[in-house]
Amino acid sequence: MELIVHGKHLDVGDALRTHMKDKMEDINEKYFNRAIDSTITIGPEGSSQYKVHISMRVGKDILVQSTVIAGDPYGSFDQAAEKVAKQLRRYKKRLRDHHERLEEIPGETPGFLIKENVIAPEKQDDGDEKEEEVLGDGEPVIVAEMTRNIQKMTVSEAVMRMDLAGESAMLFRNTKTDGLNMVYKRSDGNIGWVDPESSKAHAAE
């Protein structure tokens, strides 16, 4: 497994880098042993804390991610690594089944590309501006554009990928309907599932 360490406004010494390498390799060998690479970003957060973000790629378009802010570099990394290990423990069997299923299928399952825009939040009204100036012309300000590959998968696999990546929502193509679906984390702790094809079917009845 390839390990990439980025120090953000921080010089990552050999001792910490070796500690990270040993820890991530132990986690990979213990729970999965098929990870492709891991990227770790570490840097100061505020005046007395350190932020660590870990992204482990365990398959094509499958990421296990965690972020922790703590009082020292070793502590923040260890906590973030434990979160990754916990996720791999939880989905160990399903990840292995997923890889075995892919190995039985020749070639790669193609997805399709969509454009994703990142928009800036609307300015808050401080009481000095007129309403029309706050609302603007209704067009959002795009601060970044990126391309995302939408894969075909089951609903349960989409929930797994969303959880592993630490995302709040996951857009995917449903293997049963071939339509675009979305799963998302609800405020009540449950998982929501949006299926436009199901709505069309009910409307046609």
Of 62, 70, 7, 11, nearest to 34 by C-alpha is: 62
Q: Which two tokens stand for residue 120?
A: 């800036």
The answer to whether 174 touches 155, Cβ cutoff 8 Å, is yes
Confidence (pLDDT) at 133: 47
**The residue type at 26:** D
Q: Which two tokens stand for residue 59?
A: 């398959």
**Which CATH superfamily hosts domain 2-102?**
Ribosome hibernation promotion factor-like (3.30.160.100)
Instruction: Please state, in angstroms and rounded to a whole number, the distance separating the CA atoms of residues 3 and 39.
Output: 6
pTM listed for this prediction: 0.74
Output DSSP code: residue 139. P
| Per-residue pLDDT tens digits of the chain, which is 205 residues long | 999 999 999 999 999 999 999 999 999 999 878 889 999 999 999 989 999 999 999 987 789 999 999 999 999 999 999 999 999 999 988 888 776 665 544 444 556 676 777 777 766 655 555 544 444 556 778 777 777 778 888 999 999 999 999 899 999 999 998 889 999 999 999 999 999 876 554 444 4
Domain boundary assignment for the chain: 2-102, 108-204
Confidence (pLDDT) at 128: 55
**How many Cβ atoms sit within 10 Å of the Cβ of residue 13?**
11
Instruction: Please state, in angstroms and rounded to a whole number, the distance separating the CA atoms of residues 25 and 118.
Output: 34
- Residues facing residue 38 across a β-bridge: 3, 56
**The CATH classification of domain 108-204, taken from the options 3.40.640.10, 1.10.132.20, 3.40.50.970, 3.30.505.50:** 3.30.505.50
Q: Where are the alpha helices (DSSP H) in the chain?
A: 14-31, 73-90, 92-104, 131-135, 155-165, 196-204
